[in-house]
Structure formats: C-alpha cells, structure tokens
C-alpha cells in the first residue's frame, strides 16, 4: 500500500510536468495497455466498465475492432489483461492504418450482473440485411455488423468468454442500466439512423431478455417529406430505480444527408411504476415521437446550432443535471425543481473544449471532467462549480500533454474514486491507429509497469506492409457526412 501511495504521489507530481510522464516509461507508465484501436471508447457506448467487489473491469475497442477487457485489482494495485472478450464482425484483417477503413460504432459496453458474471455487448453499426428484415428500423447509411453479447464463463474472471446469442443483430450504441435489484436494461438504437431507440429488460442476469420496447420513434418527418425523424440518446440510472433519457434530434435527410443534430431533450422512467414522464412528472406514452418530445421534453431548441448527446446525472433532490455539447461549447443545464436554468458554457474561452461527464456533490456543487486543447497542448482535468453552475473554475489537471490528445468514456458504473473513467490517447505523429488506454481516478491515471503495458505483439510490424492511407477517400467520406455530396441511394 505504501508503494502504491508513493506511486500515486509521484504520478501526480509528474502530471504537471508532462514530458516527465512520458520519460517514466522505463519503469511505470500512466497507461495499462497500448492496444486500443481507432476510437476505443466514447461516452455513448456505456458503461465502459464497472467497479465490483474490489475490482474495476473495463472494456474498449482493441485490434480488429474487437472487444477487449482488462481488470484492475484495487487492494494490490495490480492489473489483469487485457484479454480478447469477443470478436467483432466489422473488423478488417490485417488491422488498418487508414482511419477511413474503420467503423468505430461497435464499441463495447460492460456490466457485471448480480452473480458476478461480466457481460459485454458490442460489434454492430445497425446490423446487416443478411440477418433478415429489421422490424424497428431501416438499413440506411451503410449499416453493418451484428450486435454481439458475450459473458464471462465464470463470475469475476475475465480469462474466458462465450457468446450468448440472445439479442437482435441490429443494435448499435449499446448502453446498460442496472437497477438496485439487479434487473438489467439494455438500451440501444435498433438499426441505422432511421430506427427506434429501444430497451430490453432482463430479470435473470442477462440470460433472457424481454422483447424490445420502443422508447423513441423513428418516422417520416411531419414537417418535411425529405426528412426522417431520428435520434441520438443517452440512458443512465437516476435516483433510486429511475432511468434518465437525455437526447438530441437528427433530421435524417435524403437526398443531401448531413450529420446535423439539434436540440436538447430530457425525460425519465420510473422502473417501479413502469411509467415514463417528463421532468415535471407529466406521463409520456411510448414510443415518444418528435411531436411529443418537442411539446413535453424539450430543454432547448438549438436550431441550426448542432448539438450532440451528452451525459445526465441526478442530484439528491431528484433533479437532473445535463450536459450537451452544442456547437463548440459544452453546455451545462440544471433543473432546479421549477425550470431549466439557462445553459452555461463550461470552460468557455479556455480553448477547444470536449466532453463533460460530471459528479454531483450537492445540487449546487458539481465537478466536471473536461478536455481543453490550446496551442500549448491538451489538459484533461476538473472544472468546478459551487454556485449551481453559474460559474466554473478550472481545478486539478489529471493528464497534461504537449503531444497527445484524449478520448473519454462516461463515468464507469459504481466507480471507485481511483478508477472513474477510461481514456484513450494518441499522438498526431503515430503512423498507426493503436492507442494507449488510461484508467483515470481522482488523482490521475493508474500506473502499470511498462513491461506489462505492451500488448501489440508484432502488429506494428504487420501494419508497415499496408499501403498509405487514402486521403481522397477520407475526404469524400467527410464531405458525404457533411452533406456536401449526395450519398448512394
């Protein structure tokens, strides 16, 4: 324990001198693996891990876009893995060095059930027509993959896994919510853009699930015949046995598709009463349509300003606090019991700001993790408010680098203070798509002996044989996404 404490202090000291962090590689490194791949984690597929019985289990996208799992044992400050937990049908072999060749949508979400079995769902971007018709969505915008559910063969043991073939193949953006009695809810989008967001409930530790229940409805827009109502949503356990849903609207156009998303919405589910309501408690009938959401669940209409899914937490009074990235801001919204207080752009003026999952201490006191990038480099650290979100002050940095940038998961389930969330990092000079994986706690990343943190084998040699990235293809993909080119029918 003494060694552990010393190490943590040493790391903390090193973190304000970023060059020194990287020089520490000869002994201890601030990452547990170097085999993250592409975009290994996101706040959308979540939780990326869970703390259970003294161990934090984490999942991320590794080589071949497969699901990898590692474990950190808090009492001994030691690591297990990573191990290959499940194979993604979307991965290409050999591993690619061209980012345009990766799908990146099938990242894993992990939960530990009542008995200690570890479940991971991953591997799809809307499913593939070869699996038959999708009753709750359309094959649109290049859907592929197969939603895959794997479970550890033994409780609390990540060494061996098997596939549980008990979910539809079409899901993407998988999100687990576990309630106090152990009931599991798996939320996901049931196909491509033009699909319902659904949940399936399991009362037997993920061995069987109810049929999908549509929460958000996809349909042709009533306002524009060329547009289809589509959504990006984020689900999380709220106070007690409630589930929050925070979401944004995607006007899915054809032709001239664009990735534009707008507005900010919130509603919640009382799992005991089996009732969905808006923030004022007005009952909502499922599936919620665009019209119903606009009338009863809207926090802010952002119009032409693009919004993106964020995260949502609930305070001790049962009031939601929500973050949505809007345009170039990370906007914080709080319900005070009567109204949504005006949004505040956290970290405004500090640089380019990304992400923003947060911890509520009291309704007035909140700590948010932000990544701020300036010409000087990137800083990942706390921003704090003690006046209910009106003002935010920069707090302790957890990771600082002049050359590396980071991607964050949402907070892990039941997170231990030493292991709050996952981050991946990359250097712009890397001639490959492998990423370092960091497990970050209150004081920064947990360390690992350098000799244990290398998991690439001969992959760096293998990718040297590949042709260079096709820059034109990446540009065409970017333009198509931005709506500058019509897509294929």
Binding mask 11-50 for Zn ion (x = CB under 5 A): ----------------------------------------
What distance in Å separates the CA atoms of residue 278 and residue 284, rounded to the nearest whole number?
Answer: 7
**Residue whose C-alpha is closest to residue 90's, from 61, 116, 130, 125:** 125
By CB under 5 A, tell whether 480 contacts Zn ion. no
Give the range of 248-256, 284-292, 323-331, 339-347 binding Zn ion by CB under 5 A.
248-256
Per CB under 5 A, contacts with Zn ion among 293-352 are none
Applying CB under 5 A, the span of 245-253, 266-274, 310-318, 361-369 interacting with Zn ion comes to 245-253
Applying CB under 5 A, does 252 fall inside the site for Zn ion? yes
Nearer of residues 252 and 380 to Zn ion, judged by Cβ: 252
Cβ distance to Zn ion smaller for residue 256 or 473: 256
In the bound complex, what is the minimum distance in angstroms from residue 140's beta carbon to Zn ion? 7
Residues 343-362 touching Zn ion, rule: CB under 5 A, are none
Ranked by CB distance to Zn ion, the top (closest) residue is 252
227 binding Zn ion? (CB under 5 A)? no
Q: C-beta of 231: minimal distance to Zn ion in Å? A: 10
Residue 31 structure tokens: 């990452």
Which part of the chain contacts Zn ion (CB under 5 A), choosing from 68-76, 127-135, 250-258, 283-291?
250-258
Tokens of 153: 């063969």
Active site residues: 105, 173
Q: Report how far residue 263's alpha carbon sits from residue 470's, in angstroms, rounded to the nearest whole number.
A: 35
Shortest Cβ 113–Zn ion spacing (Å): 34
Instruction: Give me the half-sphere count of Cα atoms (radius 13 Å) on the Cβ side of residue 458.
Output: 4
Q: How many residues bind Zn ion (CB under 5 A)?
A: 2
Vertex 441, ends 177 and 448: CA angle to 5°? Answer: 110
- Buried b vs exposed e over 236-246: b needs ≥16 C-beta within 10 Å? bbbeebbbbbb
Q: How far is the CB of 198 from Zn ion (least distance, A)?
A: 18
Query: Which CB sits closer to Zn ion, 252 or 366?
Result: 252
Smallest gap from Cβ 228 to Zn ion, in A, equals 7
CA angle 355/82/108 to nearest 5° reads 45
What 3-state DSSP class applies to 201? strand
Span near Zn ion by CB under 5 A; candidates 44-52, 70-78, 147-155, 249-257: 249-257
Question: What is the C-alpha separation between 75 and 389, in angstroms, rounded?
Answer: 36
Identity of the residue, 231 or 335, whose beta carbon is nearer to Zn ion in the bound complex: 231
Report the alpha-carbon distance of residue 380 to residue 248 in Å, rounded: 25
Q: What is the DSSP secondary-structure string of 286-323?
A: SSBPHHHHHHHTEEE--TTS-B---EEEE-TTS-EEEE
Rounded Cα–Cα distance for residues 233 and 83 (Å) = 30
Residues 199, 411: Cα–Cα separation, whole Å? 21
In the complex, least distance from residue 214 CB atom to Zn ion, rounded to whole angstroms: 18
User: Whose Cβ is closer to Zn ion: residue 198's or residue 400's?
Assistant: 198
> x/- site string to Zn ion, residues 165 to 194, per CB under 5 A?
----------------------------x-
Shortest Cβ 193–Zn ion spacing (Å): 3
Footprint on residues 192-221 left by Zn ion (CB under 5 A): 193
Spatial CA neighbour of 114 closest among 155, 173, 72: 155
Stretch that binds Zn ion, among 149-157, 244-252, 287-295, 410-418 (CB under 5 A): 244-252
CA distance 84 to 69: 7
Residue linked to tokens 């949004």: 343
> In the sheet where 144-154 sits, what is the strand order?
109-112, 118-125, 144-154, 157-163
Using the structure block, give the residue that is written with the tokens 């399936």.
Answer: 200
Closer Cβ to Zn ion, 29 or 141, answer by number: 141
Q: Which residues bind Zn ion (CB under 5 A)?
A: 193, 252
């Amino acid at each position: 324990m003494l060694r552990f404490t010393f190490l943590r202090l040493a790391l903390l000291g090193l973190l304000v001198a970023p060059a020194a962090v990287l020089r520490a590689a000869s002994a201890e490194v601030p990452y547990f693996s170097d085999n993250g791949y592409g975009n290994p984690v996101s706040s959308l597929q979540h939780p990326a891990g869970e703390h259970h019985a003294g161990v934090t289990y984490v999942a991320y996208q590794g080589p071949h876009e497969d699901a990898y799992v590692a474990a950190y044992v808090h009492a001994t400050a030691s690591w297990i893995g990573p191990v290959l937990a499940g194979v993604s049908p979307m991965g290409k072999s050999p591993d690619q060095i061209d980012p345009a060749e990766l799908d990146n949508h099938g990242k894993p979400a992990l939960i530990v059930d009542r008995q200690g079995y570890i479940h991971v769902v991953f591997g799809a971007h809307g499913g593939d027509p070869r699996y038959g018709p999708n009753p709750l969505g359309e094959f649109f915008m290049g859907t592929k993959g197969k939603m895959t559910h794997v479970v550890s063969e033994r409780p609390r043991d990540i060494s061996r896994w098997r596939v549980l073939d008990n979910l539809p193949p079409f899901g993407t953006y998988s999100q687990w919510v576990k309630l106090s009695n152990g009931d599991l809810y798996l939320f996901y989008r049931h196909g491509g853009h033009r699909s319902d967001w659904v949940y399936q409930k399991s009362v037997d530790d993920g061995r069987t699930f109810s049929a999908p229940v549509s929460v958000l409805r996809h349909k042709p827009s009533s306002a524009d015949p060329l547009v289809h109502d589509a959504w990006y949503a984020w689900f999380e356990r709220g106070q007690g046995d409630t589930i929050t849903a925070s979401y944004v609207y995607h006007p899915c156009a054809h032709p001239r598709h664009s990735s534009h998303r707008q507005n900010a919405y919130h509603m919640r589910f009382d799992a005991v009463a089996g009732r969905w309501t808006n923030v004022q408690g007005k009952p909502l009938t499922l599936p919620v349509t665009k019209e119903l959401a606009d009338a009863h669940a809207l926090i802010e209409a952002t119009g032409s300003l693009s919004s993106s899914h964020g995260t949502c937490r609930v305070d001790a009074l049962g009031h939601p606090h929500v973050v949505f990235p809007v345009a170039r801001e990370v906007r914080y919204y709080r319900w005070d019991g009567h109204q949504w207080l005006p949004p505040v752009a956290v970290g405004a003026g500090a640089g380019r700001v990304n992400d923003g999952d947060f911890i509520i201490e009291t309704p007035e006191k909140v700590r948010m993790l932000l990544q701020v990038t300036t010409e000087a480099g990137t800083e990942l650290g706390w921003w704090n408010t003690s006046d209910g979100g009106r003002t935010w002050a920069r707090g302790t940095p957890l990771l600082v680098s002049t050359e590396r940038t980071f991607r964050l998961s949402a907070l892990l389930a039941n997170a231990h203070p030493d292991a709050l969330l996952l981050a991946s990092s990359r250097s712009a000079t890397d001639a490959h798509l492998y990423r370092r994986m960091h497990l970050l706690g209150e004081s920064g990343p947990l360390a690992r002996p350098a000799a244990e943190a290398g998991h690439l084998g001969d992959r760096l040699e293998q990718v040297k044989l590949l042709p260079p990235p096709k820059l034109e293809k990446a540009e065409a993909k970017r333009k198509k996404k931005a709506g500058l080119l019509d897509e294929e029918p």
